[in-house]
Amino acid sequence: MKCRKCLDKAVLSIPRHNTALCGPCLTEYAQIQVERAIGREKMCTKENKILVAVSGGKDSLALWDILLKLGYYVDGLYVNLGIGQYSVRSRQKVEAFAELRNAMLFTKDAANDEGIGIRELADLVRRPTCAACGCIKRYQFNRVAVDQNYDVLATGHNLDDEAARLMGNVLRWNQEFLEKQGPVLPASMEGFAKKIKPLYRLTEREIAAYCVVNGIDYIVEDCPMATGSRLLVYKEALDVIEQASPGSKQSFYWGFLVQQGAKAQLDHQSMSDRDIAILHPCEECGQPTSAAMCSYCKLMAKAQIHQKVS
Ligand code: SF4
Ligand code: ZN
């Protein structure tokens, strides 16, 4: 198989574009896709300070690498969730990545801040681990981005992630989430960082190949808590469809952005005016919330009550 651009030996075929690319051409392709995503969706500029949330996995490390190579001002944030050896190894990968590139890395020890690991916390408050984890990550990402004066918070969600999420929202006709799903969530008010997903034009396969070609050492195994997740089921279903009909994932998600007018919608309203109007600082931590306490502080308060009782 030859690279369709330079005729060198190809390392990856990309059926959805009816092409195959060698290492250097794949690197260039990935960078172009990220630049295109940033430009088309008005995600950020080279003058902005970007904080990228890194987990040690391929997507977030590839994103950090690409943004650094493209000349963006970008630092990393790792939140340690205290998931046994998985967290130990993922933290090592992130730290090694940052050290090698002399890049700035913030580390938040959620496991220590909350006094227990994410699994134990979820058990304590009787919520699914991923729900508790999502709440903590959203809180910590936003908190660090706002406190450290970053303009934008970037995450490594890719085309597969977004297409699977869309499938879940469509299957349940979850109108509220459908309206908010997009590659940009503007900073709707003070206290909320603007959030961007610059990898939404690249698939998992393409990103994994980018990591291999560019010598990025990432944690290959999935989080042990992901087993049985519905999102994985949707991803598998979409993989079957993609294999039979290349380009389906792309047209499903990109078509959604166009058809629903999501892009225009997200430029102007990530939240309805009504939501913005009723947001006020959380009485515990000061982050914006529509209730007296934000969901993170509620989770923590519940955990403390259960801890005292047990
Ligand atoms: Fe958190 Fe669940 Fe993702 Fe693991 S799989 S990192 S527990 S959200
Ligand atoms: Zn709070």
20 lines ligand 1 (CB under 6 A): no
Could you tell me the residue range of the domain that residue 184 belongs to?
41-216+227-309
Residue 176 has what pLDDT? 84
Sign of CA dihedral 71, 263, 76, 208: negative
pLDDT band at residue 290, thresholds of 50, 70 and 90?
confident
Residue 252 has what pLDDT? 97
Residue nearest atom 8 in ligand 1 by C-alpha distance: 130
The rounded distance, in Å, linking the Cα atoms of 225 and 130 is 7
Please compute the mean of the pLDDT values over residues 175-183 and round it to a whole number: 86
Residue 274 has what pLDDT? 45
Checking if the pLDDT of 304 tops 50, the result is yes
Total count of domains within the chain: 1
146 part of a folded domain: yes
Identify the H or E element spanning 52.
strand 49-53
Cα–ligand 2 centroid distance for 43 (angstroms): 27
Residue nearest atom 5 in ligand 1 by C-alpha distance: 226
Could you tell me which residue, 139 or 275, shows the higher pLDDT? 139
28 part of a folded domain: no
Please compute the mean of the pLDDT values over residues 188-197 and round it to a whole number: 85
Q: What is the pLDDT of residues 110-163, one digit of tens each?
A: 766 656 788 888 888 888 889 889 999 999 999 999 999 999 999 999 999 999
- Sorted by sequence, the CB contacts under 8 Å of residue 227 that are 6+ apart come out as none
Q: What is the pLDDT of residues 209-242, one digit of tens each?
A: 999 999 999 999 999 998 888 999 999 999 999 9
Task: Write the DSSP symbol of residue 290.
Answer: S
State both tokens at 128. Answer: 């699914």
Ligand that comes closest to the CA of residue 59: 1
Mean pLDDT of the chain: 90
134 lines ligand 1 (CB under 6 A): yes
Q: Residue 50 phi/psi, 5° resolution?
A: -110, 135
Residue nearest atom 2 in ligand 1 by C-alpha distance: 130
Query: Which position has the token pair 């005292």?
Result: 308
pTM of the model: 0.91
298 part of a folded domain: yes
Checking if the pLDDT of 272 tops 90, the result is no
Cα–ligand 2 centroid distance for 108 (angstroms): 17
Residue nearest atom 6 in ligand 1 by C-alpha distance: 223
pLDDT-above-90 percentage for the chain = 66
88 part of a folded domain: yes
104 conformational bin, left if phi > 0, alpha if psi -120 to 50, beta if neither: beta
Could you give the residue ranges of the DSSP H alpha helices within the chain?
23-40, 58-69, 84-101, 110-113, 118-125, 129-147, 159-171, 175-180, 204-213, 230-244, 248-259, 262-268, 273-278, 295-309
Q: What is the pLDDT of residues 29-88, one digit of tens each?
A: 999 999 999 999 999 999 999 999 999 999 999 999 999 999 999 999 999 998 989 999
CATH number at residue 53: 3.40.50.620
Pick from 135, 124, 125: nearest CA to 81: 135
State both tokens at 109. Answer: 């020890």
Amino acid at residue number 120? E
Residue 282 has what pLDDT? 87
| Cβ 73 vs Cβ 295: under 8 Å | no
3 part of a folded domain: no
State both tokens at 221. Answer: 């195994």
225 lines ligand 1 (CB under 6 A): yes
235 part of a folded domain: yes
Cα–ligand 1 centroid distance for 127 (angstroms): 13
Please compute the mean of the pLDDT values over residues 152-179 and round it to a whole number: 95
Cα–ligand 2 centroid distance for 145 (angstroms): 15
Residue 76 has what pLDDT? 98
Please compute the mean of the pLDDT values over residues 15-37 and round it to a whole number: 97
Residue 192 has what pLDDT? 86
Residue 288 has what pLDDT? 82
Length of the chain: 310
The rounded distance, in Å, linking the Cα atoms of 64 and 70 is 10
The number of the ligand 1 atom at minimal distance from the alpha carbon of 137 is 1
CB neighbour class for 204 (10 Å; exposed up to 12, middle 13-18, buried from 19) = middle
140 part of a folded domain: yes
The rounded distance, in Å, linking the Cα atoms of 38 and 246 is 25
Residue 264 has what pLDDT? 59
Could you tell me which residue, 208 or 303, shows the higher pLDDT? 208
Cα–ligand 2 centroid distance for 295 (angstroms): 7
Checking if the pLDDT of 94 tops 60, the result is yes
Identify the H or E element spanning 218.
none
126 part of a folded domain: yes
Could you tell me which residue, 250 or 300, shows the higher pLDDT? 250
State both tokens at 178. Answer: 């459908």
Site to probe by mutation for ligand 1, drawn from 130, 136, 165 as the one with most ligand atoms within 8 Å of Cβ, is 130
Please compute the mean of the pLDDT values over residues 237-262 and round it to a whole number: 92
First to last CA, the chain: 62
Please compute the mean of the pLDDT values over residues 235-255 and round it to a whole number: 97
Residue 156 has what pLDDT? 98
Cα–ligand 2 centroid distance for 139 (angstroms): 8
User: Which residues lie near ion ligand 2 (Cβ < 5 Å)?
Assistant: 282, 284-285, 294, 297
